[in-house]
Amino acid sequence: MGKHVVIGITGGIAAYKTMHLIRLFKKNGYEVRVTATANALQFVTPLTIETLSQNKLYTDMFDSHRTLEVEHISMAEWADALVVAPATANIIAKFALGIADDALSTLYLAVKKPVFVAPAMNSNMFENPVVQENIKILQNHGCRLLLPNEGFLACGTTGNGRMEEPEEIFDSVDEFLSDDHTLQGKRVLITAGPTYEPLDPVRFIGNHSSGLMGFCLAEAAARRGARVSIVSGPSSCTAHHQNIHRYNVKTAEEMYQQCMQLVDEQDIIIMSAAVADYTPAHVAPEKIKKDNAQLSIELVKTKDILASVGKIKRDNQLLIGFALETENEVENAKKKLHTKNADLIVLNSLRTAGAGFRTTTNQVTIYSKDGHEYVSELKSKQEIAQEILQTALKYIHN
Nearer to ligand CTP by C-beta: 287 or 301? 301
CB of 213 to ligand CTP, least distance (A): 11
Catalytic residue among 155, 216, 237, 259: 155
Closest CA relative to residue 206, chosen from 307, 259, 275, 290: 275
Longest dimension (CA), the chain: 75
Calpha distance 18→165 (Å, rounded): 9
Comparing CB distances to ligand CTP, the nearer of 243 and 302 is: 302
Active site annotation includes 155: yes
Could you give the strand order of the β-sheet that contains 31-36, starting from the edge strand earlier in sequence? Answer: 31-36, 4-9, 81-87, 115-119, 144-145
Positive or negative CA dihedral for 340, 376, 218, 138?
A: positive
CB of 262 to ligand CTP, least distance (A): 14
CA 158, 159, 165, 168 torsion-angle sign? positive
- The smaller minimum CB distance to ligand CTP, of residues 80 and 329, is found at 329
Q: Find the helix packing angle between 212-223 and 381-395, rounded to 10°.
A: 60
Query: Which residue type sits at 218?
Result: A
- Chain residues in the site for ligand CTP (CB under 6 A): 191, 252, 271, 273, 275, 277, 302, 304-306, 321-324, 336
* Contacts of 370 by beta carbon, 8 Å cutoff, 6+ apart: none
Q: Which is nearer to ligand CTP, 323 or 364 (CB)?
A: 323
Burial of 119 (0-12, 13-18, 19+ CB in 10 A): buried
Q: In angstroms, what is the minimal distance from the CB of 58 to ligand CTP?
A: 46
Question: Of 226, 232, 198, whose CA–CA distance to 212 is shortest?
Answer: 232
Nearer to ligand CTP, 86 or 321 (CB): 321
Angle at the Cα of 113 (from 108 to 116), degrees rounded to 5? 65
CB of 51 to ligand CTP, least distance (A): 52
For residue 193, the minimal CB distance to ligand CTP (Å) is 10
Residue nearest to ligand CTP (CB): 305
Catalytic residues, by residue number, are 155
